[in-house]
Structure 1
Amino acid sequence: MHNDQQSSNWIAVCQLDDILPDTGVCALVNGEQVAVFHVVDGEHRVFAIGNYDPNAEAAVLSRGLVGSLGERIVVASPIYKHHFDLQTGECLEAPEHSVNAYPARISEGKVWVAACI
């Protein structure tokens, strides 16, 4: 998994207004499909994880349903309904099928994702 300590290039992927609250979109970041989510829970936050669901063998996570399980903000994959933690990329039902998580932020009305190198 990627973290802020690694060297990274920030890439603007879209305007924040391009993502409806509590939904996701898919963006191409350094040649990889990344699912980018706009979550509103009192404040506007963004998260980015790999878009490819290894359980379903399909690039579909950006189309999943955003919600929470306890304190965790998750997306439920649209195919097998596995839950992925939006902060860590961990697959709660099958941790061996977790995905990468990428730093994401909002700046000047845009959504930025760090492409770790």
Structure 2
Amino acid sequence: MTETTKWMAACRVEDAAENGGVCVKSGEEQIALFYFTRRNEWYATQNECPHRKQMALSRGMIGTLTDEPKVACPFHKKNFSLKTGECLNGDECAIKTYPVKVENGTVYIALKSTR
């Protein structure tokens, strides 16, 4: 099997919520895209919170925890690293993260597939 990476155009920079998230769909997959303007950084994670399987992380509050950029689930207040997906509250659950890049005003998310 071979793993390939495809860069999906998610949105224009000006269409993203500043210091917040939006939900982007790729087929049946929901991805939470975050524009952290205070750090001038972009992040993407799965949109599904692992606790109750709710599609909610794109509506979570972003911030930092000991300088680690994080998102807090709006329902359970669990904090997840936007860089690694690790749960910062000590739970063993984690979320999937995706590489993000910006080119010519368009935000792209890297999607991996196996063939």
Instruction: Give the TM-score normalised by the residue count of structure 1.
Output: 0.87
Following the alignment from structure 1 to structure 2, what is the Cα–Cα distance between the partners of residues 92 and 24? 19
Structure 1 residue 29 displacement after superposition: 2.3
Partner SS state of residue 96, structure 1: coil
User: Which residue does the alignment assign to 1:34?
Assistant: 31
User: Which residue does the alignment assign to 1:10?
Assistant: 7
User: Which aligned runs of 4 or more in structure 1 are off by greater than 4 angstroms?
Assistant: none
Identity level (%): 33
- Which of 85, 107, 112 pairs up with 2:108? 112
Partner SS state of residue 88, structure 2: coil
Say which one has the larger Rg. 2
Unpaired segments of 5 or more residues in structure 2? none
Unpaired segments of 5 or more residues in structure 1? 1-5
User: Which residue does the alignment assign to 2:85?
Assistant: 89
Instruction: Give the TM-score normalised by the residue count of structure 2.
Output: 0.89
Structure 1 residue 96 displacement after superposition: 2.4
CA shift in 2, pair 1:101/1:74, >3 Å? same
Structure 1 residue 19 displacement after superposition: 1.2
Following the alignment from structure 2 to structure 1, what is the Cα–Cα distance between the partners of residues 46 and 93? 11
